[in-house]
Structure 1
């Protein structure tokens, strides 16, 4: 339930079916790229032993990270349905002793301070109505020396002469947020400033928009097939409404308004 990481040059010459069938591999690739970018150690003596997946969805990242690092991973989501599905998938993969899931608020996490070696948030930041509180909670539950990884949708950074986005940009984002039930977005630099305010170390950020953007056109092309159209009709109005907004996501990427960002840092020892 998250984006994949694609080679933008290869994606331009890849068929829709191939791109969609590669989505699972691309989803794994984005996890690996995030870990590489953050410099999470592979050494068995230094790799994370405790992980929290903040906004875990149905637990895909949790299961992958638990297997990769032989670590204990706890996932939190606001959705009881997602938590139940995540538990079932973990059981079917023999991971009940490694991963667990619960319904909890990312802005008020049910964990003590300094508990996790790796604090992971894959495409959940855009759902947080209070970005400062969100980042504070990520930092609070991170253990000394622990790594924080945030992969999220952002809007473009403002120039030094700007105080806000242009009215047309604000209107475009509002349409997207209304369809996806999202609060206001922030920029990548806003996240960096929040992390700096908490005296976190090794803060890095990068724009991955070109690596995720190819999937949106592929999804739209698949929806324009007869099978895709029937599936949309069966899925209900909410899904149709979100599908109708996908061209606006493409427009936002092309205009440079929407950014798919990774922001990482480390909590001081």
Structure 2
């Protein structure tokens, strides 16, 4: 009996230890500085880059199933958002602002495949440094450290503004929208994708759902989530959009990313092992949050919003 009980007790103890580590090391949003610090850390340890490539965002799966390579799905997502938003109608040489550019994955695709002149901004100095290192000569991208809530560009500076999965880190969604649309020239294209909650005022969360939402906020430096409709209305009331905003929920196309983001560790074990024992612990530490994200998006508590409009 003891021989059977001991492994079970060790398993429970291990899981409890991991849970305690996960909670103690939560990344709560305090200010934009905590967002910068978190992304500096993720970039410098290179774990996400080794596992997921240079696109730190979800992928696009046309069938809604895990039927294509995770990294290819991420590239496919960029092309799908370009096509859906109309950015492919812009001529080569058009000026594009990538707000929350990460390590430059989307920026490089926009420059390489569409011939755009891309300016990528992120609040993380480590991401800017890595984006520059990953960008070969001849690719018209430049990267700058900048707060998305205080863009240092003149009104109407860009032919298109692009942002993928950055808005959830913004504590002032209205200011975020205002700054992006302010820099968009009249007639320019706006394309955005973000993590949203469902409409919590119309469909209040249960006690359990509230616990899940709290963890999703505290683990990945999110100040708050709002619904697709709420952010769409913020965009519509901006004078630069003239109310011409279209939004959609791409949960069906992006949800397989959550399973794939874990499975990548199995497909590419040496990507983790080559970074040393600490990387193994760090990768395990992210699994609970990814599983919670998967559950939240799969059940509709969270939604993947996409937005487009003309300036």
TM-score by length of 2: 0.74
Name the structure 2 match of 1:197.
237
Name the structure 2 match of 1:118.
160
* Structure 1 residues 264 and 167, CA gap change in structure 2 (3 angstroms): farther
Q: Does 1:76 align with 2:121?
A: yes
Q: Which runs of 4+ in 1 moved over 6 A?
A: none
- Structure 1 unaligned segments of length 5 or more: list them: none
Q: Does 1:136 align with 2:178?
A: yes
Residue pair 2:64, 2:254 contacting (<8 A) in 1 also: no
Name the structure 2 match of 1:99.
141
Q: Does 1:263 align with 2:283?
A: no
Name the structure 1 match of 2:80.
33
Count of residue pairs the alignment pairs up: 252
- Mapped to 1, the partners of 2:176 and 2:197 lie a distance apart of 17
Residue pair 2:88, 2:114 contacting (<8 A) in 1 also: no
SS of equivalent residue, structure 2 residue 190: strand
* Structure 1 residues 265 and 255, CA gap change in structure 2 (3 angstroms): same
- Mapped to 1, the partners of 2:281 and 2:205 lie a distance apart of 31
Name the structure 1 match of 2:269.
227
Residue pair 1:2, 1:27 contacting (<8 A) in 2 also: yes
- Mapped to 2, the partners of 1:232 and 1:261 lie a distance apart of 37
Residue pair 2:65, 2:256 contacting (<8 A) in 1 also: no
Deviation at 1:220, TM superposition (A): 2.7
Partner of residue 257 from structure 2, selected from 209, 215, 231: 215
Rg larger in structure: 2
Higher mean alpha-carbon deviation, 23-32 vs 53-62, is at 23-32
SS of equivalent residue, structure 1 residue 117: strand
Residue pair 2:96, 2:158 contacting (<8 A) in 1 also: yes
